[in-house]
Amino acid sequence: WSIPYSNNIQVIMTAADSGIQSLADLSGKLDGVQVATSALSLLEDEEGAADLAATFGQLLQYETYTVAFNDLKAGAIDAIAIDMPVAQFLMQDSEGFVILDEELGSETYAIGFRLDDQELCDQINAALQALSDNGTFDEIAKNYPEIADFLCLGKNAD
pLDDT value at residue 57:
98
Please determine, for residue 107, whether its predicted confidence score (pLDDT) is greater than 80: yes
DSSP strand E in the chain: where?
Answer: 6-15, 30-34, 58-62, 79-83, 97-99, 105-109
pLDDT value at residue 110:
95
pLDDT tens profile 1-35: 999 999 999 999 999 999 999 999 999 999 999 99
pLDDT value at residue 146:
81
Please determine, for residue 158, whether its predicted confidence score (pLDDT) is greater than 50: no
pLDDT value at residue 148:
84
Distance CA 16, CA 107 (A): 26
79-83 vs 30-34, strand pairing mode: parallel
State the DSSP H helix or E strand holding residue 41, giving kind and residue range, or none if neither.
Answer: helix 38-44
**Residue 14 region, left (φ>0) first, then alpha (ψ -120 to 50), else beta?**
beta
pLDDT value at residue 140:
87
Please determine, for residue 135, whether its predicted confidence score (pLDDT) is greater than 70: yes
Distance CA 37, CA 83 (A): 9
Contacts of 98 (CB under 8 A, 6+ apart): 13, 14, 15, 16
Please determine, for residue 99, whether its predicted confidence score (pLDDT) is greater than 80: yes
pLDDT tens profile 67-98: 999 999 999 999 999 999 999 999 999 999 99
Instruction: Output the pTM of the full model.
Output: 0.85
